[in-house]
Amino acid sequence: MSETTHSERTDTDSTIETTAGETIEQVQESWTDYKFQGEAKLTSEGLDVYYGDDHALKDVTIEIPEKSVTALIGPSGCGKSTFLRSLNRMNDRIRSARVDGSVQFDGKEIYQEGIDLVELRKRVGMVFQSPNPFPKSIHENITYGPRKHGDIETGLLARLLGRDDWDEAEELVEQSLRQAALWDEVADRLDDNALGLSGGQQQRLCIARCLSVDPEVILMDEPASALDPIATSKIEDLIHDLAEDYTVVIVTHNMQQAARISDQTAVFLTGGKLVEYDDTDKIFENPESQRVEDYITGKFG
Amino acid sequence: MASATESDLISGRTDSTEAVAGIAVGLAALLFALSLATFFDVVSVTGTLVGVPVVPLVGGLLILLGGAIITFGIGSYLGYVETTPSPTAGLVAAVAAAVPWFVAGVSVGSIMLGSGSAGGVVLGLVTGAVAFAATAFPREDLGSTLPIGALSILAGLVLLSGIIGPEWVWDLGWEQQASLTAGFVVPALTLATSLYVGWAAAKAYGGFGARGRHVGAYALVYVNALSIVAVLVILLAFTVFRGIPGLLTGAEIGLGVGPEVGLFGLSVQLPVSLPFVMNGVALLNDYQGVLPAIVGTFWLVIGAVLFAVPLGIGAAIFLTEYAERGRFTQAVEVATNGLWSTPSIVFGLFGFAFLIPRFGNGKSLLSGMLTLGFMLLPLVLITSREAMLSVPDEYRDASAALGVTKWQTIRSVVLPAALPGVVTGVILGVGRIAGETAPILLTMAGGTFVPGSQTVDVIGGFKFTATPPFVANPELLQATSALPYQLFALITAGVGLGDSVANPNDFRWATALILLVVVLSFYAIGIGARYYFRRKLQYE
């Protein structure tokens, strides 16, 4: 799976375009030569997403390597969040959305008949832009997913039947909160309502909740955009640590953030097109595309 | 020197200015309270207050009030009082002043001058126009005080001079033999005038201008809010005071005086005897009571809630979470709102014509429960739907992103978050159905009185049989009574009270009081439940 190139697409595109258009197209497609170390976790091929008549994402082909941080950047409305949501089929929840093309997770097509959405979303977790803990206790927030999946049983019936997994639940809560770097702050008030936490703590709780179902990929949709600089830096450190065990895909508006935390960066520009995808250093220091350079230096977008 | 804009920033008004306007506001409030007290017979128009006959006293106070507000306005215009008036009092104030002056003109023209209706209208138009002009054209301090102050003086003169005295009656002379008496006209006149002058005085207190208008508007909306509380308190007090004597008839406290109550095989003799709520009606009773109706109301509400709440919540879940917004959901919405607006007597007729023939062909508790359940259904559906729509989509997204199925999400996240709203809907609905008379009259109620021995016993009524239908409950299929129906029957017919009720009027008021207490108890339970569920959702 590694070191794949998409030369056939580059060929067809560049031969069709003429003069001025040709140069742009050739530059835009140059990312397809990008080779990364390791295995590809998520692969999309020719992915198109429509909201009604609106063609939000156009022909996106990309490979996302495992156990690394991949940043998706670009101006508002460029389709980067749409792309993120199509990786765990959260777009299914939008009634007008229609998806064409292919997304493969560990080599398996997720847009096929018979895919188990429960299992897919357990493995490909998601953290949203604004912190959205449930109006329940911190403990219940963490155990919510595993309980609903039947992985741990803590209910009244389980207790009566002698199948109480209370210890496992405690262990899971502590482990998830430690992974999300929140344990020390909330260890003594696990039964308090999660809405009483600060914004940054809530967001780390959401990350812990996402980790509680033991995912392989974590999708993050601007997870720090609603937070202050200190909370943001905590989240960024956390993302950095998570990349050792998980594949992280993060959408961000903040280019410094992308430069700080990601291993590779994909740049989407207006019209829902993936314009360039490369090592983060390469993107920020020496992008191939003039439009990407303009965007990164603030001349456009 | 201080210009107009600077005096806005730092008020140059003295304490004495504020005091004059403050006294005017206080006087208006006093008159407002006095008029309300007169309305509710706390103060009689024919009586005296602090040694002065009420009507002239009110008249004098109105003149004083009018004089004070006019003095303030002129003083402000001449510069003795520092205010910040706008160039004009505005269109709203002008129309507001023109309306009472039009009414005053019509009244004076048609009654006192005897010039007939047409002449009255002409005079009314003239006085209305003058008041409009007098408010709209001069500077605000004159415009908002002069016409209204003059109105107050006019009203005061009418009362003080005895044109409308305590014994005044205006026979309207229509076929209905209707007449207006001083008992209504004096407080109504005082109420309206004191509100107007209170508004003007509040504007004066704020020094006119933007601040004055703010104070004036504040005073008016404050009175509105206060009136709502006042209405409830007065209604409660009225019922309680009149209901207590009947309720306490034959009441005894002491060991061994109360009836025996059996619970789980234990028999306890209550130390309190309150025959009104512990007895039914029987020939040999010392005191008659309404226990069967209380129990009937209780079971009626329980049955209706058990029927309507699961159905309503289920339908709300389908509409908010599953159904796509379209023709069908719109049709359901229209149907729901239509059902909620349907008059209760129509529900009653439906129950009478449809349910009764199907449940034993006689009026029964079950028919009553179902009829009231149908009435409760739309409100539960509407409020549950609103509550579920107000649950943020973020919760649903978060749950879906964890791979949790839709139904589990609804059950574990959406419903708990929507529960306080659902409970609010049920509270409102129960308040309505518990007091319904018409459907009960048609579907459930037996005779005016139900003997105490026929108090419905739903739990004890279940019978198990070896043959179909296996479970039966004859209690549910019996006619019984409920408080609102009983009250209605007592008032319209008053039959069957017999010699053992010394004072039928007390008996009626006590029934009304018990009805109020039962409905408010359901309300209190609902509020408690809502508080509990809300606490679970919130931090701190």
* Residues A129 and A209 reside in one and the same domain: yes
- For position A263, which CATH number holds? 3.40.50.300
Closest CB to A132: pick one of B397, B416, B539. Answer: B397
Smallest Cβ–Cβ distance between A145 and the set B404, B537, B540 belongs to: B404
**Domain match, B269 and B306 both:** no
If asked whether residues B146 and B263 sit together in one domain, one would say no
Together in a domain, B274 and B372: no
Q: Does A86 touch chain B (CB under 8 A)?
A: no
What confidence category does residue A161 fall into, taking pLDDT thresholds of 50, 70 and 90?
Answer: confident
Please give the Cα distance from A244 to B290 (Å, whole number): 76
Q: Which of B400, B536, B537 sits opposite A90 (nearest CB)?
A: B400
Are A11 and A57 contained in the same domain? Answer: yes
Reported confidence tier of residue B428, pLDDT bands at 50, 70, 90: confident
Residue B114: pLDDT band (50, 70, 90) is low
In a shared domain, residues B309 and B228: no
- List the structure tokens of B394: 């973020």
Same domain, B338 and B257: no
Any domain includes A166: yes
Query: In angstroms, what separates the C-alpha of B390 from chain A's closest C-alpha?
Result: 14
User: With an 8 Å Cβ cutoff, are B397 and A90 in contact?
Assistant: yes
Q: Return the closest-CA partner of residue B98 out of B118, B127, B69, B123.
A: B127
Asked if residue A2 belongs to a domain, the reply is no
Average pLDDT over residues B422-443: 85
Q: Which of B285-289, B356-360, B436-440 has the lowest mean pLDDT?
A: B285-289
Nearest CA in chain A to B398: A132
| pLDDT, position A25 | 46
**Which residues of chain A are within 8 Å of residue B536 when distances are taken between CB atoms?**
135
Token match 């126009």: residue?
A: B129
Instruction: Give the domain range for residue B303.
Output: 291-537
Q: What's the pLDDT score for residue B258?
A: 66
pLDDT bucket at B450, cuts 50 / 70 / 90:
low
Q: What pLDDT is recorded for position B8? A: 47
Question: Does A129 reach chain B within 8 Å, measured CB to CB?
Answer: no
Please tell me the number of Cα atoms within 13 Å of A91 on its side-chain side. 26
DSSP secondary structure letter of residue B322 = I
Assess whether A165 and A208 both reside in one domain: no
pLDDT of B522 higher than 70: yes
Same domain, A34 and A140: no
* Summary mean pLDDT of chain B: 82
Based on the fold, state whether residues B340 and B455 are members of the same structural domain: yes
Asked if residue A69 is part of any domain, the answer here is yes
> Within this chain, do residues A190 and A212 fall inside the same structural domain, yes or no?
no
Q: If pLDDT is split at 50, 70 and 90, which confidence band does B443 have?
A: confident
Instruction: Assess whether B270 and B323 both reside in one domain.
Output: no
Closest residue to B539, CB basis, from A132, A134, A192? A192
Q: Do B456 and B395 reside in the same domain of the chain?
A: yes
Which is more confident, A64 or A20?
Answer: A64
Q: Is residue B286 part of a domain?
A: no
Restricting to A residues 260-289, those with a Cβ less than 8 Å away from any Cβ of B are none
Report the pLDDT averaged over residues B283-291.
73
A135/B417 Cβ within 8 A: yes
pLDDT-above-70 percentage for chain B = 86
Distance from CA of B392 to the nearest CA of A (A): 9
Q: Go through B49-68 and write b for each residue having 16 or more CB atoms within 10 A of its CB, e for each that does not.
A: eeeeebbbbbbebbbbbbeb
Instruction: Give the 3-state secondary structure of B229-287.
Output: HHHHHHHHHHHHHHHHHHHCCCCEECCCCCCEEEECCEEEECCEECHHHHCCCCCCCCC
Domain annotation covers residue B367 = yes
Same domain for A75 and A174? Answer: no
Render B331-355 in DSSP notation, one character per residue: HHHHHHHHHHHS-HHHHHHHIIIII
Smallest Cβ–Cβ distance between A132 and the set B324, B395, B538 belongs to B395
- Quote the CA–CA distance of A174 and A185 in Å, as a whole number: 12
Please indicate, yes or no, if residue B105 is contained in any of the structural domains: no
Q: Which residues of B395-409 are buried (b: 16+ CB within 10 A; e: fewer)?
A: bbbbbbbbbbeeebb
As a whole number of angstroms, the longest Cα–Cα distance in chain A is 76
Contacts of B404 in chain A (CB under 8 A): 118, 144-145, 148-149
Highest mean pLDDT among A292-301, B100-109, B446-455: B100-109
Q: Same structural domain for residues B378 and B460?
A: yes
- B394:A130 CB<8 A: yes
Smallest CA–CA distance from B540 into chain A, residue: A196
A206 touches chain B (CB under 8 A): yes
For chain A, give the mean pLDDT. Answer: 82
CA distance, residue A120 to nearest chain B CA (Å): 7
Does residue A149 have a pLDDT over 90?
no
> With contacts defined as CB-CB under 8 Å, which chain A residues touch B420?
none
Q: Count of domains in chain B?
A: 3
Considering the domain architecture, whether residues A128 and A140 belong to the same structural domain is answered as: no
Tell which of A148, A164, A196 closes a domain. A196
Residue B147 lies in a domain: yes
The domain total for chain A is: 2
- pLDDT computed for residue B361 by the predictor: 79
**Does residue B314 sit in the same domain as residue B389?**
yes
**Region B195-215: what's the mean pLDDT?**
87
Residue whose entry in the numeric block shows the structure tokens 């606490």: B535
Residues A99-118 have a mean pLDDT of 88
Token pair listed for B251:
């009441």
Q: Which amino acid appears at position B147 of this protein? A: P
Per DSSP, helices labelled H in A6-99 are: 7-16, 19-28, 80-86
* pLDDT over 60 at B422, yes or no: yes
User: Average pLDDT of A175-183?
Assistant: 89
Contact between A90 and B538 using a beta-carbon 8 Å cutoff: no
Least confident of A20-29, A109-118, B139-148, B415-424: A20-29
Backbone angles phi and psi of B282, in degrees to 5: -150, 155
Beta partners for residue A48, in sequence order: A100
Residue A271 lies in a domain: yes
**Within-domain flag for B284:** no
Distance CA(B369)–CA(B426), nearest Å, equals 15
| Residue-level pLDDT at B245 | 84
Contact residues, B window 383-422, toward A, CB-based 8 Å cutoff: 392, 394-405, 408, 412-413, 416-417
Task: Give the residue numbers spanning the domain of A66.
Answer: 7-133+197-296
Are residues A266 and A182 located together in one domain of the fold?
Answer: no
What is the reported pLDDT for B380? 92
The HSE-up count of residue A7 (CA atoms within 13 Å, CB side) is 3
CA distance A26 to chain B (A): 37
CA separation for the pair B444, B403 (Å, rounded): 50
Does A150 reach chain B within 8 Å, measured CB to CB?
Answer: no
Beta-carbon separation of B395 and A117 below 8 A:
no
**pLDDT at B3 (0 to 100):** 43
Token pair for residue A139? 């403990």
Per-residue pLDDT reduced to its tens digit, A72-96: 998 888 888 899 999 988 888 888 8
Tens of pLDDT, residue by residue over B31-61, are 888 888 888 777 777 777 777 888 888 899 9
Residues 275-314 of B with CB under 8 A from A: none
Residue numbers in B near A89 (CB within 8 A) = none
Do the Cβ atoms of B105 and B123 come closer than 8 Å?
Answer: yes
- Residue-level pLDDT at B293: 84
Rounded CA Rg of chain A: 21
CA distance linking residue B69 with residue B94, whole number of Å: 17
In a domain, A217, yes or no: yes
Q: Do B403 and A117 touch (CB under 8 A)?
A: yes
pLDDT at B346: 92
The answer to whether position A32 is within a domain reads yes
Would the CB atoms of A144 and B412 count as touching at under 8 Å? yes
Residue of B nearest to A126 (CA): B401
Tokens of A64: 């996302």
Q: Are residues B258 and B237 in the same domain?
A: no
B351 and B235 in one domain? no
In a domain, A26, yes or no: yes
B508 pLDDT exceeds 90? no
Counting runs of H as helices and runs of E as strands, what totals does chain A give? Answer: 13, 10
- Are the beta carbons of B435 and B390 closer than 8 angstroms? no
**pLDDT tens-digit series, residues A4-26:** 444 333 333 333 333 444 444 44
Indicate if A189 and A208 belong to the same structural domain: no
Do residue A122 and residue A161 come from a single domain?
A: no
A204 touches chain B (CB under 8 A): no
Subunit contact B402:A192, Cβ cutoff 8 A: no
- Based on the domain organization, do A205 and A189 belong to the same domain? no
In terms of pLDDT, which residue wins out, A143 or B492? Answer: A143
Whole-number pLDDT of residue B539? 58
Mean pLDDT throughout A105-134? Answer: 89
Compare CB distances from B401 to A119, A121, A148 and report the shortest one's residue: A121
For residue A93, count other CB atoms closer than 10 A to its CB.
Answer: 14
Ramachandran category for residue A217: left, alpha or beta (phi over 0 → left; psi -120 to 50 → alpha): beta
pLDDT, mean of residues A144-151: 86
Cβ–Cβ below 8 Å for B402 and A210? yes
Quick one: pLDDT at residue B176? 65
Q: What is the mean pLDDT of residues B194-220?
A: 88
For residue A174, what pLDDT is reported?
92
pLDDT of residue A23: 44
Question: Of A150, A169, A196, which residue constitutes the final position of a domain?
Answer: A196
pLDDT (tens digit per residue) in B326-381: 888 889 889 999 998 999 899 999 989 988 888 877 888 888 899 999 999 999 99
| Of B408, B416, B539, Cβ closest to residue A196 | B539
Read off the pLDDT of residues B233-264 as tens digits, 9 standing for 90 and up: 888 888 898 888 888 877 777 666 666 666 66
Q: What is the CATH number of the domain that holds B352?
A: 1.10.3720.10
Residue listed under structure tokens 């009571």: B289
Q: What is the DSSP string of B308-321?
A: HHHHHHHHHHIIII
3-state secondary structure B144-161: CCHHHHHHHHHHHHHHHC
Q: How far is CA A148 from CA A144, A164, B477, in A?
A: 6, 15, 44
Q: Which band of pLDDT confidence, cut at 50, 70 and 90, is reported for residue B447?
A: low
Contacts of A192 in chain B (CB under 8 A): 539
The verdict on residue A301 lying in a domain is no
Residue that is last in its domain, among A181, A196, A211: A196
Q: Higher-confidence residue: A13 or B18?
A: B18
Q: Between A and B, how many CB-CB pairs are < 8 A?
A: 75
In this predicted structure, the answer to whether residue A2 has a pLDDT above a threshold of 50 is: no
pLDDT tens sequence across B462-502: 777 777 667 777 777 777 778 888 888 888 766 555 555 66
- To the nearest whole Å, the CA of A298 is away from the closest chain B CA by 32
The tens digit of pLDDT for each residue in B115-136 reads 667 778 888 899 999 999 999 8
Burial class (CB in 10 A: 0-12, 13-18, 19+), A30: middle
- Answer whether residue B129 is part of any domain: no
pLDDT at B5: 42
Same domain, A113 and A258: yes
